[in-house]
Amino acid sequence: MTQTADPQSENKPSLRDLLVVVFFTTMVMTLASMAVLWIPAIAPAVAADLDVSPSLVGYQFTLAYMGAMTTSLLVGGFVQRFGAWRTSQSSLGMLAIGHLILMSGHLELMVFGSLATGFGYGMMNPPALDLLNRVVTPSNRNLVFSVRFTGVPIGGVLASLVAPSLTLAFGWQATMLVVGALGLLLFVAMQPLRARFDANRQPDAAVVRDPFSGLRLVLRSRALRFFAFTGLCFAAVQLSLMSFTVTLLVDEVGWTLVTAGVALSCVQVAGVIGRVSWGVIADRLRSSTAVLILIGSAMTVASLTASQIEADWPQFVVFGFFFVFGIVAVGWNGVFASEAARISPPGNIGHTTGGVLFVTFSGVLFGPVVFSMLYQVTGSYSATFLASAALAALGVVFLGISRRAARAQ
């Protein structure tokens, strides 16, 4: 794809700066992932206390991503005015505010708490990509971005392990203080480094600007536009896998809930391994798009295979299959983000990646809804994985269009 000016071409970044940026951006992402997945991890307890259906509590996840989509379009001006480092710190504050509102236990207020949590989640990616783009080299950029993106599955695992046990011990409302406390500690730990990493900020830059400016930058470029559409397709496949694996195995294969949960944990662990591994491969090949095409093709095959799982399949085969599925369906994000930052116009990484992420989050938001509607029509969870296969294949097509458009520029 089209090369942009490489920030490392004149001044090679220090190893110290690289390690510091990777560590803190990964920690912020881990905490943000924990924050978004905290309520889903304890949904039965929250639902029982609020006297609502657990499925209604699940809308918290949707509201959070609506908030994330909103701030992904707005945060570019904040990054330019106050700096990427301060914006990352601010995302921690917003996550804490969101959880404090959720702690109220009032359903109406929890709607706003879910949105606020999503605002914090959407604020953390554009500044992180800006920071990472400053400290990587062409030989390590995909690995570095991919390591940072391991924060998502790590945060999910931590939420699923910590939140339920704390809820049993102290009640679900008290556990909402965990994200706030951890966010405060991380904010304070980051503060001494703020001047160093926000030295390039533009104090006169406008904070409030056209929220769709970044999205327009993406849509005006054929290469960026179809690249963003790829993110939408891949995100929908990822959320389909995370949302329907357990239900497929319990309702249609006849497994117990606990055994099906083991299969889902295979997906989550594989996501961490996949994100790092794909980053290494992309750096070795020096082609992010080639790796993403490989991933998308593997997603297509894996989705088709998932639709054919039967009760007579050995459990170890199913566990192994979902591990492989997780490597591709949950492991693409780091390479994708690296390429999005690399092809963004110099000086507009916050705006452009915000636009790309807005489109990507659309897949997260609407994918599970579409798949649920498909189930209502077909009465089969296997059919949702056939839809995943179609989306993964479409994502590969979009990548091909994006690649050709970039070469023609």
Question: What Rg value do the Cα atoms of the chain yield, rounded?
Answer: 20
CB proximity list for 9: less than 8 A, separation 6 or greater: none
Q: Taking the CA of residue 345 as centre, how many other CA atoms within 13 Å lie in the half-sphere pointing to its CB?
A: 10
Q: Report the C-alpha gap between 211 and 350 in whole angstroms.
A: 12
Closest CA to 156 of 29, 24, 323: 29
pLDDT average, residue stretch 348-370: 79
**Residues listed for the chain:** 409
What DSSP string describes 108-149? Answer: HHHHHHHHHHHHHHHHHHHHHHHHHHHH--TTTHHHHHHHHT
Task: Please check whether residue 396 is in contact with residue 290, taking contact to mean a CB–CB distance below 8 angstroms.
Answer: no
- Is pLDDT of 10 > 60? no
Q: How many CB atoms lie within 10 A of CB 14?
A: 10
Residue 312 phi/psi, 5-degree rounding, is -85, 5
Strands (E), 5-124: none
Task: Please check whether residue 330 is in contact with residue 268, taking contact to mean a CB–CB distance below 8 angstroms.
Answer: yes
pLDDT average, residue stretch 383-391: 89
Q: Give the pLDDT band of residue 350 (cuts 50, 70, 90).
A: low
Give the torsion sign (CA, 325, 327, 333, 335): negative
Q: Give the pLDDT band of residue 98 (cuts 50, 70, 90).
A: very high
Joined together, the tokens standing for residue 331 give 């492991």
Q: Report the C-alpha gap between 265 and 261 in whole angstroms.
A: 6
Q: With 0-12 CB in 10 A as exposed, 13-18 as middle and 19+ as buried, what is 61?
A: buried
- Is pLDDT of 1 > 70? no
pLDDT for position 11: 60
pLDDT for position 233: 95
Query: Among the ranges 26-35, 133-142, 160-169, which has the highest mean pLDDT value?
Result: 26-35
Q: Report the C-alpha gap between 334 and 318 in whole angstroms.
A: 26
Angle at CA 267, nearest 5°, toward 99 and 47?
A: 35
> What is the average pLDDT score of the chain?
86
Q: Report the C-alpha gap between 406 and 377 in whole angstroms.
A: 40
Q: Taking the CA of residue 64 as centre, how many other CA atoms within 13 Å lie in the half-sphere pointing to its CB?
A: 25
Task: Please check whether residue 268 is in contact with residue 156, taking contact to mean a CB–CB distance below 8 angstroms.
Answer: yes
Region label for 205, one of left (φ > 0), alpha (ψ between -120 and 50) or beta (otherwise): beta
- Ranking 60-69, 119-128, 288-297 by mean pLDDT, the lowest is 60-69
Q: How many CB atoms lie within 10 A of CB 254?
A: 11
Q: Give the pLDDT band of residue 30 (cuts 50, 70, 90).
A: very high
- The residue written with tokens 């490989």 in the block is 294
- Is pLDDT of 234 > 80? yes
CB proximity list for 307: less than 8 A, separation 6 or greater: 382, 383, 385, 386, 389
- Is pLDDT of 7 > 60? no
pLDDT average, residue stretch 12-27: 92
Q: Strand, helix or coil at 2? A: coil
Joined together, the tokens standing for residue 292 give 């993403």
Q: Higher pLDDT residue, 50 or 291?
A: 291
Alpha-carbon distances of 66 from 4, 32, 142, 151, 202, rounded to whole Å? 31, 15, 28, 20, 29
Q: Give the pLDDT band of residue 54 (cuts 50, 70, 90).
A: low
For residue range 190-225, list pLDDT tens digits in order. 999 999 999 988 888 777 766 677 788 888 888 889
pLDDT for position 248: 81
- Is pLDDT of 38 > 60? yes
pLDDT average, residue stretch 271-296: 92
Give the torsion sign (CA, 172, 269, 123, 79): positive
Q: Report the C-alpha gap between 19 and 84 in whole angstroms.
A: 16
Alpha-carbon distances of 320 from 192, 304, 309, rounded to whole Å? 45, 16, 13
- Is pLDDT of 183 > 50? yes
Angle at CA 6, nearest 5°, toward 142 and 406?
A: 75
Q: Report the C-alpha gap between 397 and 385 in whole angstroms.
A: 18
Q: Report the C-alpha gap between 138 and 295 in whole angstroms.
A: 21
